[in-house]
Amino acid sequence: VIPGWFSEISPMWPGEAHSLKIEKILFQGKSDYQNVMVFQSSTYGKVLVLDGVIQLTERDECAYQEMITHLPLCSIPNPKKVLVIGGGDGGVLREVARHSSVEQIDICEIDKMVVDVSKQFFPRVAIGYEDPRVTLNVGDGVAFLRAVPAGTYDAIIVDSSDPIGPAQELFEKPFFQSVANALRPGGVVCTQAESIWLHMHIIEDIVSNCHQIFKGSVNYAWTTVPTYPSGVIGFMLCSTEGPPVDFKHPVNPIAENDGSKDPLKFYNSEIHTAAFCLPSFAKKVIESM
Ligand SMILES: NCCCCCc1nc2ccccc2[nH]1
């Protein structure tokens, strides 16, 4: 441990640890589910850490929040009802709210402390909660989805942490099945799907489960987030049987400057299409299934 530095040590990336210089620790707490910490870094703004793993930094959260949201929502013509599982920081809500066709935004986050800490320390991320279309449910996403009537949502975004800790069940087959049930025909899901540099085996399992459950299209996309180990993180994009969804060519363009307080910083239609281009070592696993 280097004094004055935070190192992100986790069994999710053995033998490596991304480090950020700490200016000041702003919050440390333990919720019913995990350790929660916020610190002011010297070059990435404020940083949110759960159980020692960086969830977001002010400097680069735009890449993750914009891509996990607009890859699915720009792939269907007229999203109206959207569900967010996880995403308690509010960043995905901020991005969903940019879509004027959306009428209802439900979110199910298990840890109230994440919501409260984000509102206190990350107001430009938690601004998503201010949209009148948003309903917050504090609880387990697995139970929430079991209670959702079949075919309710046009899109579901699973902004989870990793399969170590409270999000473990969000990577298992029964959960994917409950997501498929909650989507309308031709509805879409986008999930946080790890790193092709670090987690090809986890990705292989996720892609296999998705092919068994989602009878529309199944695609893997990825983006760059400098403060995530390996510098990249990916997304599973799937659609249920019904009107075909071509994830690679957005049908529903989002204005790159939609007049909101914080305009898009990362997503655009070219990077949407590019996100599905994979290096050969990943392509041969993912696209051969
Ligand atoms: N909203 C949570 C995003 C994920 C945060 C935790 C995390 N950090 C990662 C780095 C590389 C691959 C997967 C990762 N998962």
| Cβ of 152 less than 6 Å from ligand 1 | no
Query: Model confidence over 152-204: pLDDT tens digits?
Result: 999 999 999 999 888 999 999 999 999 999 999 999 999 999 999 999 999 99
- The interface predicted TM-score of the complex, written ipTM, equals 0.96
Expressed in angstroms and rounded, the spacing between residue 162 Cα and the centre of ligand 1 is 6
Distance 207 CA to ligand 1 centre (A): 18
DSSP-assigned letters across all residues of 220-241? EEEEE-TTSGGGEEEEEEEE-S
Q: Is 118 near ligand 1, meaning CB less than 6 Å away? A: no
pTM for the whole structure? 0.97
Q: pLDDT tens digit string along 134-148?
A: 999 999 999 999 999
| Ligand 1 atom closest to the CA of 86, numbered from 1 | 1
* Annotated catalytic residue 159: yes
d(CA 244, CA 62): 29
Cα(234) to centroid(ligand 1), Å: 9
213/25 Cα distance (integer angstroms): 43
Please tell me which residue in 106, 159, 162, 246 is annotated as part of the active site: 159
Position 260 scores a pLDDT of: 78
DSSP for 53-82, written as a single string = EEEEETTTHHHHHHHHHHHHHTTSS---EE
Query: Is residue 41 lining ligand 1, measured as CB closer than 6 Å?
Result: no
Alpha-helix residue ranges (DSSP H) falling in 74-195: 91-96, 112-121, 123-126, 141-146, 173-182
